[in-house]
Amino acid sequence: MKILAVSDQVIDRLYSGNVKDNYSDINMIVGCGDLPYSYLEFLVTVFNLPLYYVPGNHDPEYGPSPDSRAEGCLNLDGRVIFTKSLLMAGLGGSILYQPGGPNQYSQSEMYLRAYRLLPKIFWSRVRFRRPLDLFITHSPPEGIHDDDDPTHHGLRAINLIIRWAQPRYLFHGHTIFYHQNLDSHIATYQTTKIVNVYPFRVMDI
**Which residues contribute to the site for Zn ion (CB under 5 A)?**
34, 56-57, 94, 174
Smallest separation (angstroms) from Zn ion to the CB of 150: 12
Closer CB to Zn ion, residue 31 or residue 56?
56
Tell me the DSSP string of 28-90. Answer: EEEE-S-S-HHHHHHHHHHH-S-EEE---TTSPPPSSSGGGS-TTSEE-BT-EEEETTEEEEE
Closer CB to Zn ion, residue 19 or residue 194?
194
In whole angstroms, what separates CA 96 from the centre of its chain?
A: 17
- Find the length of the chain: 205
Closer CB to Zn ion, residue 57 or residue 124?
57
Smallest separation (angstroms) from Zn ion to the CB of 138: 6
Residue number with the shortest CB distance to Zn ion?
Answer: 174
DSSP at 181: G
DSSP at 145: S
Angle at 184 between CA 31 and CA 83, to 5 degrees: 30
Closer CB to Zn ion, residue 57 or residue 196?
57
Angle at 159 between CA 153 and CA 164, to 5 degrees: 165
Closer CB to Zn ion, residue 49 or residue 176?
176
Smallest separation (angstroms) from Zn ion to the CB of 27: 26
Smallest separation (angstroms) from Zn ion to the CB of 155: 11
Smallest separation (angstroms) from Zn ion to the CB of 157: 16
